[in-house]
C-alpha cells in the first residue's frame, strides 16, 4: 500500500512584513504585492492575517522546492523592498501578537480513509516536528519560557492536537497538528511546524517531514494508540514546545533525546528521501542543529538576552531576520546545548497546579498539555486529593478551580 502517489510536497510559509518604522504591514497593503508575486511566480501565493503566505506549489524533489523557496523569497524581498518593506520570517514577534507557521503539505493523497489512519499514526511524531521547527520564543511581552509559544498556545487555536479518529465515526476536522486536507489540495497537512527563519532549514525540514510521511504512508497502519501512548504524545508536545531540540521525549517506553529520535527517523526515511531526490547528507543544517541541539528559537532567545526593551528587540529582530542566513551564522558558533530532562509525573502535576489560579475554568487542566478529559480529570482528582486545588460547580459559570496550596 502506498498512500502518497505520486510523492509530492510543499509548504505555505507565512512571513511578516514590516516597514521602516517597525510597523507590521496590514493585509490590505500587502494583498496587491502578494497578487503580483503570485502572478510572476505562477504559484498560489496569498496573504493570511497580516502575513505574506508563500505557498510553494506542488514539488516532487528537494531541489525543486529549495529552488522555489529561494526564488520566491528573493523576488518577494525585491518587490517589497520597492516600498521600503522588509520580510521578517519568524513564528512570533516581540510585540505583535501574531503566530506564524510553515505548514507542510505532503501529497498526493486521494484516499481520505487511509489518510485518517495516517493521522492517527502521526500523533506521536508531531511533537518531534514541533521540536525541530521551534521558532517562537518571543510572543508579545513573553520571553523564553517556551521555545515555541505558538505550539504551547495552540497557535491561537489554529493548530491543536488530533484526536484518535475512526474513519467510520468521524467528520472532517480543520486545524489539527497534522491531518488530511483534501479540500483545495490532495495532501496531509502538518500544521504544527513554526514558521522558519532560514530558507535552507525550511527546505530541509519540509523534505524531512515529507519523507517521514511518505515512509509511514507506505507501511501498514499500526494499531490505534493506547490511552497511555496518546497521553505520552501530549506530554511530548508540551515538552517540545518548552525545550525545542533539547527535549527528551517519552518514546516507545523509554526516555529519548528528541535529537536521537530524529536521527532514527532520518535513517528510516532514507528510501523516501531518495524518492524525492534527497540524501541525508543534503540536510546539512538539520545535521548541525542535531549535533548541537540548537534550534531557531535559541537564536531568537540569544538575541532577546541582549535587548531588554521589547521595542528595541523588535527593531533588531526584524533587521536580523531578513537575512536568510542569520540562523546558519548563529549555528556555526553556537555553543552545544544539553538535553533537558522531561517532567516526571510529579512535575506534570505541579505544572498543571501552577496554571490554576482562583476561579480558573476547568479547561486549564485540558489546555496546559492537551491531556484528554479522563487523564486531565485523574490529574485534577490528585490535585484535589492532595489539598492543592478546590473544585466548585457553579450553574452560571461552570466548573471553576481554585488553587489553595
Q: State the residues that interact with another protein by CB under 8 A.
A: 20-23, 84, 140-142, 153, 303, 306, 308-312, 314-316, 318-320, 323, 326, 329, 354-361, 364, 394, 396-397, 402-405
Which residues, 6 or more positions from 393, have their beta carbon under 8 angstroms from its beta carbon? 399, 400
Q: How many residues does the chain have?
A: 405
Q: HEC states along 195-216?
A: CCCCHHHHHHHHHHHHHHHHHH
Q: Considering the complex, what minimum distance in angstroms separates the CB of residue 310 from another protein?
A: 7
Can you give the C-alpha Rg of the chain in angstroms?
21
Rounded CA separation 55/169 (Å): 32
Residue among 14, 321, 6, 367 nearest 191 (CA): 14
Q: Considering the complex, what minimum distance in angstroms separates the CB of residue 248 from another protein?
A: 25
Enter the C-alpha cell of residue 95. Answer: 510585540
Q: Considering the complex, what minimum distance in angstroms separates the CB of residue 81 from another protein?
A: 10
E strands, 112-162, in order: 138-139, 142-143
Q: Considering the complex, what minimum distance in angstroms separates the CB of residue 290 from another protein?
A: 24
Q: Which is nearer to another protein, 26 or 357 (CB)?
A: 357
Q: Which is nearer to another protein, 267 or 354 (CB)?
A: 354
Enter the C-alpha cell of residue 41. Answer: 511566480
Q: Which is nearer to another protein, 174 or 311 (CB)?
A: 311
Name the strand (E) or helix (H) holding 151.
helix 149-152
Name residue 96's beta-bridge partners: none
Q: Which is nearer to another protein, 174 or 363 (CB)?
A: 363
Q: Which is nearer to another protein, 66 or 237 (CB)?
A: 237
What count of other Cβ atoms lies within 10 Å of the Cβ of residue 397? 10
What count of other Cβ atoms lies within 10 Å of the Cβ of residue 26? 12
Would you say the C-alpha torsion 62, 67, 72, 77 has a positive or negative sign?
Answer: positive
Q: Considering the complex, what minimum distance in angstroms separates the CB of residue 225 from another protein?
A: 30
Enter the C-alpha cell of residue 398. Answer: 461552570
Q: Which is nearer to another protein, 224 or 384 (CB)?
A: 384
Which residues, 6 or more positions from 63, have their beta carbon under 8 angstroms from its beta carbon? 277
Per DSSP, the three-state class of 51 is strand
Q: Considering the complex, what minimum distance in angstroms separates the CB of residue 24 from another protein?
A: 12
Q: Which is nearer to another protein, 227 or 359 (CB)?
A: 359
Q: Considering the complex, what minimum distance in angstroms separates the CB of residue 34 from another protein?
A: 23
Q: Which is nearer to another protein, 108 or 360 (CB)?
A: 360
Enter the C-alpha cell of residue 382. Answer: 490528585
Q: Considering the complex, what minimum distance in angstroms separates the CB of residue 375 from another protein?
A: 20
Amino acid at each position: 500500500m502506498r498512500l502518497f502517489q505520486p510523492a509530492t510536497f510543499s509548504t505555505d510559509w507565512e512571513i511578516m512584513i514590516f516597514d521602516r518604522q517597525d510597523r507590521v504591514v496590514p493585509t490590505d497593503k500587502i494583498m496587491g504585492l502578494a497578487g503580483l508575486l503570485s502572478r510572476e511566480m505562477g504559484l498560489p501565493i496569498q496573504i493570511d492575517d497580516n502575513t505574506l503566505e508563500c505557498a510553494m506549489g506542488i514539488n516532487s524533489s528537494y531541489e525543486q522546492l529549495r529552488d522555489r523557496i529561494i526564488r520566491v523569497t528573493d523576488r518577494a524581498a525585491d518587490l517589497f523592498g520597492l516600498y521600503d518593506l522588509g520580510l521578517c520570517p519568524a513564528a512570533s514577534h516581540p510585540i505583535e501578537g501574531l503566530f506564524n507557521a510553515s505548514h507542510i503539505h505532503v501529497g498526493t493523497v486521494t484516499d481520505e480513509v487511509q489518510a485518517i489512519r495516517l493521522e492517527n499514526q502521526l500523533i506521536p511524531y508531531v511533537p518531534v516536528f514541533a521540536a525541530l521547527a521551534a521558532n517562537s520564543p518571543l510572543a508579545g511581552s513573553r520571553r523564553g519560557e517556551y521555545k515555541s509559544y505558538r505550539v504551547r498556545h495552540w497557535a491561537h487555536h489554529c493548530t491543536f492536537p488530533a484526536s484518535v479518529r475512526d474513519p467510520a465515526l468521524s467528520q472532517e476536522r480543520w486545524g489539527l497538528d497534522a491531518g488530511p486536507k483534501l479540500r483545495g489540495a490532495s495532501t496531509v497537512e502538518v500544521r504544527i511546524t513554526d514558521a522558519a527563519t532560514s530558507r535552507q532549514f525550511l527546505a530541509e525540514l519540509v523534505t524531512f517531514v515529507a519523507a517521514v510521511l511518505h515512509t509511514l504512508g507506505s507501511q501498514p497502519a499500526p494499531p490505534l494508540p493506547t490511552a497511555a501512548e496518546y497521553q505520552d504524545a501530549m506530554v511530548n508536545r508540551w515538552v517540545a514546545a518548552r525545550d525545542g531540540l533539547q527535549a527528551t521525549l517519552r518514546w516507545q517506553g523509554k526516555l529519548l533525546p528528541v535529537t536521537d529520535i530524529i536521527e532514527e527517523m532520518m535513517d528510516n526515511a532514507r528510501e523516501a528521501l531518495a524518492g524525492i531526490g534527497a540524501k541525508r547528507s543534503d540536510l546539512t543544517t538539520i545535521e548541525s542543529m542535531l549535533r548541537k541541539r540548537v534550534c531557531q528559537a535559541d537564536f531568537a532567545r540569544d538575541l532577546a538576552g541582549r535587548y531588554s526593551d521589547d521595542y528595541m528587540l523588535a527593531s533588531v529582530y526584524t533587521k536580523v531576520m531578513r537575512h536568510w542566513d542569520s540562523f546558519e551564522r548563529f549555528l556555526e558558533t553556537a555553543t552545544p546545548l544539553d538535553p533537558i530532562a522531561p517532567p516526571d509525573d510529579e512535575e506534570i502535576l505541579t505544572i498543571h497546579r501552577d496554571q490554576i489560579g482562583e476561579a480558573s475554568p476547568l479547561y486549564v487542566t485540558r489546555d496546559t498539555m492537551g491531556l484528554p478529559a479522563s487523564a486531565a480529570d485523574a490529574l485534577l482528582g490528585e490535585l484535589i486529593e492532595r489539598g492543592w486545588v478546590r473544585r466548585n460547580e457553579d450553574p452560571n459559570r461552570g466548573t471553576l478551580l481554585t488553587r489553595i496550596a
